[in-house]
Structure formats: C-alpha cells, structure tokens
C-alpha cells in the first residue's frame, strides 16, 4: 500500500473512532484505572496502579494496570492442536506471560468438524472462554449480532493494547467494523490470499508442446490439451471440485470483479481503480450476473472435455494432495500452489511452473477481517485477556514463539533474517493455527528457489487497496432470507462448478435464479444498498 493511502486510511479511522461511544471505567483485574483513551493515556496514567505480581523488567510495569491477582486466560483456536503446544505454552507462560502480566494462557482447539455445530454452543454454554478466534467466514457477524462478543471501544483498545495498537494497520479497524462498531481485534498481516494463479506440470507442458499460459483462454487451451493427452495415463488435467471453487476465483479476476463485503456474495466491477464503486453501475449479486452464467457454461465445456474426473461431485479428496501426488496436472489456488509444486518435485513425480492467468488485473491483499480474535461478553476478565493478546502481538520474540514455536527446535533463523524448518517443525508448524496473531514483520521462509517468492512479487508489483475493502455487511435484518439463499446456493453450486448439468446448464441456471428471487434476494440486495450508501457517506463519497 502506498504511504498516501496509509495516511488517508489513518485519518479516516480517526474520524470514525471519534464518533464511537466511549466505555466507562473497568474495575476487573488488569484495569488501568483511567477514562482516557489510547496508549498515550496509559502512559499519562503511569503510577495510578501498583506493580505487584509482575517482574521488574515487565514492559507493563508503571502502566497503571492492577496485575496483583494471578489470572488464567483461556483462548480458543480453530483446527488441530499442535503436538508441541504444551512445550510452547510452558515457555510462553514461564518467560513472558507470568512474569510480565501475572497471567497463564491455556490454549484449547475446536476441530474443523466441530466448528459448525459447537462454535455457538461454546460461547453460550457458560464454559470459560476469554479469547476466541473468529472471522468473516467463521461466525464473526452472526455472533457479534447475537451479542456474544464484547464491543471494543476506542478507549478499551488503546488502553489495553498499549503496544500492539500502535503498530496495527489503520485500515484493519475499518474492515472489522459492523455498523460502525468493533467486536474483534484483526490480524496485522494481510497477504494476497484471494488472488489466484495456476501451477501446472511443466514436464507435461514440454512433453505436449504447450506454450505460456497468460490468460483465461490460454489456460483453457492448456487444460484441454492435457486432458486429451494425459487422461488415458490416469492423470486428469485439473482437480476442480464442487465444494472448492478453484476456477471460480480466477474467473472473477479475469473480469476484474471483487467481493464487496468479505464473507458474502455481493460483488462489484473494479475497473482497476481504488475509488468506491457506483452502486447502480458496478455492484451486483454474484450468482445473478450474466458473467456467472458465462462461467458455468465454460465449466460445462471443460467437464465435457474430461478436464477433471466425472465423479467429482462425490469426491472428498484434497485438490492439493492430488496435484502433489501426480494425479492431476494443475492446481489453481493462492500462494499455496508454491508448496504444492515443491512437494511434487520433492516426490520426484514431475516439475512445475506458476502462471498468472490475469496479468493485467490488480491484486488486493485479503481482508484483515479474515482472521481476528474476539473477547466473548461472558469473559470475566476481558481487560486481562486483551493484555495477553497485546503481548502476543506486540513483541516480535513473543509473536514468533506463538506463531512458529521454539527457535532452534521448530525453526531456525538464517543470517539474513529468514527462517528455515527446524528438526521438529512437523510438531509445531509455522502459522498452523495463529492466523489472527501473526505479525507483519514475521520472518519469511528461506528458499533458494526463486519460484517461492514469485507469486508474492508479482502481486506486490500490481497491488492496490480499494476503498470498498473497508465495507462490512451486517446481516441481522435479512438473516432469514440469507439462510434460505445459502441453502439454495449449496443445492446448485457444486454441480455448476464442475459442469455436471452439461447441455442443461442454462435451463438449470434459470431455475436456480428463480429460486433465489423467491427466497428474497431483492430484499437482501436492498439491505446491502442501504448499508453501502451509509458507508459511502461516512467515507465522504457518494
């Protein structure tokens, strides 16, 4: 992002935050005992609280916090618990949290299979939860709407995040706002996770005389050629799956369209510009746009050419694993394609190359709302929980420990400040769970292969930050309609994505659109329009 935009976003954030209501004094453990806002307020209040319970070298000393009582903070993350989690926690608590904050952190994990059924129950069931992973795709809007998450006012954020608040990307606060209020603390490291490229078996391209892939059409031609030549050898050209819309992402890049609100299907044509889109001319609902039918017709054509397995509708295999094991000749996704290609070559199966299918389309970093940490309203120690999160995010040595494990065990640092895999890397993978905590200065993985940084370099060269990236949608007024619409999309979407309807694609599409309209799509779009125009007014642009 350019310095000019950082300044604009910072000023815009300040204006928005000034309009938010201030919270009153808190009296729980960890309280600063002040009604002033910001890190500066904590500094001005030095000496208002004692230093009992914390070490002489604690960075939280003389900040006005009452840390005399020991507290246990429980944090929930999504996914599988790392094998060496207890080892990392022992070091984290023993060297940082206990001496600095008189606090112990306990990490608990909610498995992927339990997220849909147990996430809400966990927040409502009375179990101790002080910090909770949430996201635009993982219950942030819905749980905030139900009152499960504490509203985080400017005063609270600036006071109880004395170190991490100062280094937080200003635009990140905009992206987690719901109706002008903040209910979660966003990550401070956004990557190009929504920009997709394609990794293709280079050895097979050379074998069949396939040239450079630099557009949607050349990608199609390459995939069809690979299907014609390699399907008989047990290798499908691509591993497109109905429940993982790989080609879908590239298609919308191809026509220069971006999601308007993270986690929803509102989209807009960017025209390669950062300015706010015109609602009447540029904004549309993804599945009712003519371009969506065009995509589905393309999918039907590729399916007819046997580009992927005809049994994909029931396939639960992982597309990345299929590419790495040589079962497919290409893999479309974000920077994950690099590690997939490396694993392919390490296995001695073939070689790979990365291609940007949309070289003239600008790249936007993913939303900061994609990974956040909330403080549940049920937490009895929200201030102490915030201080723990501040410690995890505000100090590089602590951040690296939580995100990557123990240096010399789980990772090694090189002389040029990059990291290599340690002997025990498989027991605590870097960034495997701490998505909402990773810092922007986190050391990059060392590689002597230029392809490892190729995708990031290409995206950085054409990076832009649309003003609309700060728009968030609050679904509470149309929750019932969205629930029905989501079920309809799930009913038809997978079949469209793999071209299963064949020659009946257009007829099925019209049937699909009719059901969406009957479910109340127009009401949902009107609600989006109202909220978007309010956002534009706050931004000072119509």
Rounded to the nearest 5 degrees, what angle is found at the Cα of 535, between the Cα atoms of 529 and 536? Answer: 90
State which of 45-49, 198-202, 452-456 shows the largest mean pLDDT. 198-202
Q: Looking at the structure, tell me whether residues 349 and 249 fall in a common domain.
A: yes
- The pLDDT tens digits of the residues spanning 229-246 come to 999 999 999 988 766 666
In a domain, 18, yes or no: no
In a domain, 132, yes or no: yes
Among 421, 441, 458, the domain-final residue is 421
In a domain, 474, yes or no: yes
**Is-contact 79 433, C-beta < 8 A?**
yes
Q: What is the pLDDT of residue 367?
A: 87
Q: Looking at the structure, tell me whether residues 98 and 171 fall in a common domain.
A: yes
Tell me whether residue 36 is exposed, middle or buried, using C-beta atoms within 10 angstroms of its C-beta: 0 to 12, 13 to 18, 19 or more. middle
Q: Looking at the structure, tell me whether residues 98 and 182 fall in a common domain.
A: yes
pLDDT of 337 > 70? The answer is yes
Q: What is the pLDDT of residue 8?
A: 36
**Is-contact 61 51, C-beta < 8 A?**
yes
Query: pLDDT confidence of 539, banded at 50, 70, 90?
Result: confident
Mean pLDDT of 105-125: 94
In a domain, 31, yes or no: no
Q: How far apart are CA 452 and CA 318, in angstroms?
A: 22
- The pLDDT tens digits of the residues spanning 284-308 come to 999 999 999 999 999 999 999 999 9
Find the CATH number of the domain harbouring 518.
3.40.190.10
- The pLDDT tens digits of the residues spanning 15-62 come to 333 333 333 333 334 544 333 333 444 444 444 456 999 999 999 999
Q: Which domain holds residue 327?
A: 197-362+449-539
With H, G, I as helix, E, B as strand and everything else as coil, classify residue 39.
Answer: helix
Q: Looking at the structure, tell me whether residues 380 and 336 fall in a common domain.
A: no
- The pLDDT tens digits of the residues spanning 470-513 come to 888 888 899 999 999 999 999 999 999 999 999 999 999 999 99
Q: How far apart are CA 471 and CA 140, in angstroms?
A: 14
Q: What is the pLDDT of residue 434?
A: 95
Q: What is the pLDDT of residue 458?
A: 94
In a domain, 83, yes or no: yes
Q: What is the pLDDT of residue 193?
A: 86
Q: Residue 311's CB: how many other CB atoms inside 10 A?
A: 8
Q: What is the DSSP letter of 97?
A: I
Tell me whether residue 423 is exposed, middle or buried, using C-beta atoms within 10 angstroms of its C-beta: 0 to 12, 13 to 18, 19 or more. exposed
Domain count, the chain: 2
Q: Looking at the structure, tell me whether residues 468 and 334 fall in a common domain.
A: yes
CA distances for 520 relative to 283, 373, 474, 480, angstroms: 18, 32, 16, 9
- The pLDDT tens digits of the residues spanning 77-110 come to 999 999 999 999 999 999 999 999 999 999 999 9
Q: Looking at the structure, tell me whether residues 299 and 411 fall in a common domain.
A: no
Q: Looking at the structure, tell me whether residues 165 and 230 fall in a common domain.
A: no
Among 421, 438, 464, the domain-final residue is 421
Q: How far apart are CA 149 and CA 146, in angstroms?
A: 8
Whether the model clears a pTM of 0.85, i.e. scores above it, the answer is no
Q: What is the pLDDT of residue 245?
A: 62
Lowest-pLDDT range of 28-37, 347-356, 531-540:
28-37
Question: How large a percentage of the chain has pLDDT more than 90?
Answer: 74
Q: Taking the alpha carbons of 407, 412, 413, 415 in that order, is the dihedral positive or negative?
A: positive
Query: pLDDT confidence of 323, banded at 50, 70, 90?
Result: very high
């Amino acid at each position: 992002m350019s310095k000019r935009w950082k300044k604009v976003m910072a000023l815009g954030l300040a204006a928005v935050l000034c309009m938010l209501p201030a919270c009153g004094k808190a009296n729980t453990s960890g309280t600063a005992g002040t009604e002033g806002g910001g890190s500066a307020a904590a500094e001005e209040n030095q000496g208002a609280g004692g230093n009992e319970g914390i070490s002489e070298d604690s960075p939280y000393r003389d900040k006005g916090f009452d840390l005399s009582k020991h507290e246990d903070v429980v944090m929930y993350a999504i996914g599988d618990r790392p094998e060496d989690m207890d080892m990392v926690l022992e070091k984290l608590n023993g060297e940082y949290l206990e001496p600095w904050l008189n606090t112990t952190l306990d990490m608990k994990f909610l498995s992927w299979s339990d997220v849909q059924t147990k996430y809400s129950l966990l927040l409502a069931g009375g179990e101790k939860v002080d910090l909770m992973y949430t996201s635009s795709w993982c219950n942030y809007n819905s749980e905030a709407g139900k009152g499960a998450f504490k509203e985080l006012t400017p005063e609270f954020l600036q006071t109880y995040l004395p170190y991490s608040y100062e280094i937080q990307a200003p635009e990140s606060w905009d992206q987690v706002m719901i109706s002008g209020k903040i209910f979660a603390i966003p990550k401070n490291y956004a990557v190009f996770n929504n920009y997709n490229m394609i990794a293709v078996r280079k050895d097979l391209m050379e074998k069949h005389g396939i040239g450079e892939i630099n557009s949607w059409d050349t990608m199609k031609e390459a995939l069809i050629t690979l299907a014609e030549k390699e399907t008989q050898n047990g290798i499908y050209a691509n591993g497109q799956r109905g429940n993982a819309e790989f080609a879908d992402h590239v298609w919308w890049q191809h026509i220069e369209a971006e999601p308007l609100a993270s986690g929803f299907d509102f989209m807009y044509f960017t025209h390669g510009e950062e300015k706010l889109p015109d609602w009447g001319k540029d904004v549309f609902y993804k599945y009712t746009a003519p371009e969506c039918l065009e995509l589905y017709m393309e999918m039907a054509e590729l399916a007819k050419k046997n580009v992927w397995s005809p049994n994909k509708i029931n396939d639960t295999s992982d597309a990345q694993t299929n590419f790495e094991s040589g079962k497919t000749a290409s893999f479309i996704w974000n920077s994950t394609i690099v590690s997939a290609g490396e694993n392919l070559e390490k296995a001695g199966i073939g070689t790979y190359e990365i291609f940007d299918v949309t070289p003239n389309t600008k790249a936007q970093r993913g939303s900061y709302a994609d990974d956040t940490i909330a403080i549940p309203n049920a937490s009895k120690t929200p201030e102490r929980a915030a201080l723990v999160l501040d410690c995890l995010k505000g100090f590089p040595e602590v951040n690296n420990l939580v995100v990557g494990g123990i240096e010399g065990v789980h990772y090694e640092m090189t002389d040029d400040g990059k990291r290599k895999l340690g002997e025990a890397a498989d027991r605590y993978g870097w960034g495997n769970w701490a998505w909402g905590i990773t810092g922007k200065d986190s050391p990059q993985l060392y590689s002597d292969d230029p392809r490892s940084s190729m995708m990031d370099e290409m995206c950085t060269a054409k990076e832009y930050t649309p003003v609309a990236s700060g728009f968030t949608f609050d679904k509470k007024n149309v929750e019932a309609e969205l629930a029905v619409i989501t079920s309809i999309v799930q009913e038809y979407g997978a079949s469209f994505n793999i071209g299963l309807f064949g020659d009946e694609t257009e007829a099925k599409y019209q049937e699909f659109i009719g059901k969406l309209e009957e479910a109340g799509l127009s009401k949902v779009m009107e609600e989006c329009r109202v909220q978007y125009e309010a956002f534009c007014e706050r931004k000072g642009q119509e």
